[in-house]
Structure 1
Amino acid sequence: MKMLRFRSPSISSLAQEVQCTVRLLDDSEISCSIQRDTKGQFVLDHVCNHYSLLEKDYFGIRYVDPEKQRHWLDPSKPVVKQMKCQQPYTMCFRVKFYPQEPIKIKEELTRYLLYLQMKRDVYHGRMLCPFADASYLGACIVQAELGDYDPEEHPTDYINDFKLFPKQSLKLERKIMEIHQNELRGQCPALAELNLLQRAHTLDTYGVDPHPCKDFTGSTAFLGFTAKGFVVFQGNKRIHLLKWADVSKFKFEGKTFYVIGVQREKKLVLTFHTTTPAACKHLWKCAVENQAFYKCTKSSQIKTVSSSSIFFKGSRFRYCGRVAKEVIEASSKIQREAPVVYRCQFGQSRSFISLSHKQLIMNMEPLLPALSSSREHRDSSADNGLLALKDSVCLSPLKPSVTPEEVEIEEIENHVQERQENETTNRMRVEEEWREIHEDTEDDVASTFTISDTPYSPCASLVPTPVEEGQSGLDLLFQSPARLLKELHADPEMQAKLQAEKERELDREGFRQSLCRPASGQQQMQACLRSAARLLVMATGLLMVLFPLLLVLLESDLDISFLHDIRQTPEFEQFHYEYYCPLRRWFLCRLELIMEQLWG
């Protein structure tokens, strides 16, 4: 791992450092220490500098909040204000925008990183494809990592060492071996990776990060964004493709997501419902970003976008960075010598590692002595602590006398201690299993096209809630409830606090009784008049503020972005043409009649 410190000119922020871990596409990790005001662009630049990557506009940093909701790290905002989880922060470096034509990528390094992302998409079931395409993609991966087929080095079932697809049948493995042995012979890793990208970008699910939702009929659907446009899937079938040129606007309200566009010269409005408002907002942001990246010709043309609302701006988002056409132009101007691409070895490859949950559990030893012996070379202090814990279990101090009360206390303490030891053992086993078999959370969230109707609950976590360590906390934990209450009531400080609490409760009760006493008729009338006066003042003030604003919106031609956005909403247009215009015509007619009578 590499460590890098981003220093801020602010002296007050130098002492407030935050540790971040970024998981790369090959499952390796790099760490950095940032300041509390460090923006997301610095973290992205740190990873790109680690790779020596210039074509970095296709990539982004993704993280998952405690509610299992995925987010893209905003480069223009501080990292600390975006992350809602506890430190240290864990993020993932992923492809954010898939290039429409991979052949136009200038450098081999960028194509290799895109290849790693495509391999992840295939592995997690996001790349849905027919049997022939799946066989070719799998063969390209094998050729890129193994090279040419050699009967002396590769056994007859060498493809079993690769875990390429979620469901890998024997027929598919045979077809992959056939293509690898015959069609791809002689191809270097870079050429095999390029062939995979060239075949993958022709598929319907290329670059689709599925967002689960339900349509207006209640059926499950998956929304995605590609270089071509907005797509909708039901099951394994694409049912909608709305090109970016035909998309007019995206908006959301609560858990409802709207797509407004034109299809066959008719206005089209698609409505979808997500599981949570946070998921709907994330879907809206992804839609706005992808539309800006693929549709616009220059980044200077992109304006700030807001969710639809008449008097309130709602959520605002501004795309930052270059668009697809600008990235391709910048790539064509790269003149440096191509950097060296360090590829994963065959034994380190993700596709080579076939994870077996049951085998890992069977091979684990939950005993504390075994854990201490396995870690004796890594941490001598931890080893001594485990040995001391083992000795303390075997030996118990002698007591001069034992009373029935102490026997009961000892039984309770032994029961609590045994339960704590079992929880510690289970937690260590779960953490060890987690480190070995758990993929990054953002892949698990969208690994398959399914929607979970059960909301995530922190109480259902496998990892037990940590208990704060300390002598006083442990003493309180192992004491019996009866003795603990007796000692607390005997404490003079505690008695003073209880007495103060009783006095405050008496004061509150007296105040509640005074409020419940029946008031006289004159007092009730005065209270009613005061309430009516306050309501009249508030209504007058509100009208004095809203009425001029409404006149400015309806009658003026001021070209201000705030007013322009409000005028473009469907609700405001409906109010203007159906209500305000007839009312204005009626008022003008009445005014003309009055003027004629006066000047008659």
Structure 2
Amino acid sequence: MPLPFGLKLKRTRRYTVSSKSCLVTRIQLLNGEFVEFTLSVESTGQECLEAVAQRLELREITYFSLWYFNKQNQQRWIDLEKPLKKQLDKYGLEPTVYFGVVFYVSTVAQLQQEITRYQYYLQLKKDVLEGRIPCSIEQAIRLAGLAVQADFGDFDRYDSQEFLQKFVLFPIGWIQDERVLEEATQKVALLYQNYRGLPAPEAELLYMQEVEKMEGYGQESTPAKDSQGADILLGACLDGIFVKHKNGRPPLVFKWNEINNMTHNKSFFALELANKEESVQFQTEDMETSKYVCRMCLARHKFYKINNSMCLSGCFRPAAVVLTRPFMSPDNLYVNSQNGYYYHSQTSLDRSPLEYVGGSGRLRNGSTSSLTNPQHYMQPSPMSSNPSITGSDVVRTDYVPSQAGTSSLHFFRHCCPL
């Protein structure tokens, strides 16, 4: 088998790479784990995404993408059609790239594979804990109880309130009153005991079905000004493009089927509506922002129109959950750093060495959630669209990345290092 990018393999089975021709990309996954891939400097964002999808044995990659922090510390989705290195060099604040959900579905029941639903669960839990999806105390308690059951299962020593106090159960900084926090944690402990016997996939599904009904689900917004110069939040959601005024006025939503086209000119972003001759125009921070917002909204517009038509035609059918032992490979480096565990892959084609711990089915691979690793909390990720998704990729919900494995397995379940 020829080596990728013309690299030479020494007897040590490690690639000799030149910094001028290769890029070592560090990616944070939704569970907090770090992985590294050595790619060509000309490798596109799509190639990097496919490498991540292969590592996770994820087939339905249409819903996911990669993002980074730009030099203004804003979160931006990678343009998958362009070289990754050029984007990071020109716009990136740091070389780290983040994996996440880019397209949110109207119902998680349409997700076909368990590994897809698991990654969705991690994203939604992250969205809740980081405050992007607001919730009441009652909702937060229900979600926390389900999350504990999903992440820890039926472990007697986890029933106590003292144990739960060590972990992030509620949105960070959300409950300031210690007494209220203690009472809420006690309710979570009681609720958690009621979920005993509930399998992790079912707990995750119940969690997601609760979140998908909440305001803020699948939304991303950016500050802008309307045609009168008033400050607004302009963004995309499942239904269309929304405008939120800061003076308390009801949000305005332009439905996807009402929008003919979207354009940008300098710092202005415009919607061309089907029932109006004039376009609706908004002003963003600068030209780069308007270009990005337009690219994001066009991609989301395309995705949700196709996704909606497929849902109406009954193309999506819930799939049964399948649990099995993942494929093992000895060709990776397992690294323990001060920031946690991560894998260093010398190519985008190999697999991660997962080690089973005892007979519990848990894996010692650093795949920890925010509940299982309170010291290492992930940075927030945005919710937006994939700026370079194609129509053919949207339709293919069983899309298989090039060189990917043949199975889609959920093997990052109970991963708390003890």
Task: Name the TM tier (shorter chain).
Answer: 0.5 to 0.7
The aligned residue for residue 113 of structure 1 is 119
Q: Does 1:256 align with 2:263?
A: no
Asked if 1 retains the 8 angstrom alpha-carbon contact of 2:25 and 2:96, the reply is yes
Quote the residue 1:464 is aligned against.
none
- Go from structure 1 to structure 2 and tell me whether the alpha carbon gap of 1:130 and 1:343 turns closer, same or farther (over 3 Å shift): farther
Distance 2:255 2:288 in 1: 26
CA distance in 2, matches of 1:267, 1:26: 47
Q: CA deviation at 1:84?
A: 2.2
Q: Is the 8 A contact 1:6 1:38 kept in 2?
A: no
Q: Is the 8 A contact 2:167 2:372 kept in 1?
A: yes
> SS where residue 224 of structure 1 aligns?
strand
2:141 pairs with 1:135: yes
Could you list the per-position Cα deviations for residues 560-598 of structure 1 after superposition, in whole angstroms to 9, with x for gaps in the alignment? xxxxxxxxxxxxxxxxxxxxxxxxxxxxxxxxxxxxxxx
Counterpart amino acid of 2:37?
A: C
Seen in structure 2, the aligned counterparts of structure 1 residues 51 and 344 have a Cα distance that, compared at 3 Å, is same
1:273–1:108: structure 2 CA closer, same or farther, 3 Å change rule?
same
Task: Please provide the CA RMSD for this pair.
Answer: 3.9
CA distance in 2 between partners of 1:268 and 1:131 (Å): 44
In 2: Cα distance, 1:289 partner to 1:347 partner: 31
Partner of 2:195: 184
Task: Name the SS of the counterpart of 2:165 in structure 1.
Answer: helix
Task: Provide the residue aligned with 1:233 in structure 2.
Answer: 244
Cα 1:186–1:83, aligned 2, differ >3 Å: closer, same or farther?
Answer: same
Normalized per residue, which structure has more strand? 2
Moved more, 152-161 or 40-49: 152-161
Identity %: 23
SS in 2 for 1:210: strand
Unaligned 5+ segments in structure 1 are 299-322, 356-435, 448-600
Structure 2 residue identity aligned to 1:279: T
Q: Distance in 2 between matches of 1:270 and 1:89?
A: 37
Match of 2:110 in 1: 104
Asked if the contact 1:20/1:88 (under 8 Å) is kept, the reply is no
Which whole-Å CA distance do the structure 2 matches of 1:55 and 1:324 have between them? 15
Aligned-partner Cα distance in 2 for 1:78–1:238: 41
Give the Å deviation of 1:232.
2.8
Q: Deviations over 1:131-156 (max 9, x none)?
A: 43333222222222233584x65333
Higher relative contact order (CA 8 A, sep 6+): 2
Cα distance between partner residues in 2 of 1:133 and 1:87: 36
TM (normalized to structure 2)?
0.67
Secondary structure at 2:252 match in 1: strand
Counterpart selection for 1:145 from 148, 151, 156: 151
CA–CA separation in structure 2 for the residues paired with 1:54 and 1:122: 25
For the pair 1:56 / 2:61, whether they are aligned, the reply is yes
> Aligned match of 2:289 in 279, 296, 309?
279
DSSP 3-state at the match of 2:5 = coil
Please name the residue that 1:243 is paired with.
255
Please give the alpha-carbon distance, in whole angstroms, between the structure 1 residues aligned to 2:321 and 2:127.
Answer: 31
Compared with structure 1, are the counterparts of its residues 280 and 347 closer, same or farther at alpha carbon in structure 2 (3 Å cutoff)? closer
> 1:313 maps to which residue?
none
2:35 matches 1:20: no
Tell whether the 8 Å contact from 1:213 to 1:273 is kept in structure 2 after alignment. yes
Aligned to 1:296: 306
Identify which of 165, 168, 171 aligns with 2:175: 168
Over 3 Å counting, the alpha-carbon distance change for 1:78 and 1:45 in structure 2 is same
| 8 Å CA contact retained: 2:25, 2:95 | yes
Q: CA deviation at 1:50?
A: 0.3
Query: Matched residues in 1 for 2:200 and 2:319: separation?
Result: 23
In the alignment, the residues of structure 2 paired with residue 237 and residue 162 of structure 1 have an alpha-carbon distance, to the nearest angstrom, of 37
- Provide closer, same or farther for how the CA distance between residues 80 and 352 of structure 1 changes in structure 2, counting only shifts above 3 A: closer
- Flag the 1:270–1:354 CA change in 2: closer, same or farther, 3 A: farther
- Tell me, yes or no, if the aligned pair for 2:33 and 2:368 is still in contact at 8 Å: no
Question: How far, CA to CA, are the matches of 1:238 and 1:191 in structure 2?
Answer: 36
Is contact 1:69–1:279 with CA below 8 Å preserved after alignment?
Answer: no
8 Å contact from structure 1 (residues 63, 73) kept in 2: yes
The answer to whether the 8 Å contact 2:31/2:370 transfers is yes
Q: Which has the larger share of helix? A: 1
- Give the aligned partner of residue 197 of structure 1: 208
Is 2:18 the counterpart of 1:40?
A: no
Change (3 A) 1:145 1:335: closer
Give the Cα separation in 2 of the matches to 1:343 and 1:230: 42
Q: Counterparts of 1:366-385 in structure 2 under 5 Å? A: none
Aligned mates of 2:320, 2:151 — CA distance in 1:
29
SS of match in other structure, 2:183: helix
* 3-state DSSP of counterpart to 1:259: strand
The 8 Å contact of residues 238 and 304 in structure 2, kept in 1 or not, is answered as: yes
Which has the greater radius of gyration?
1
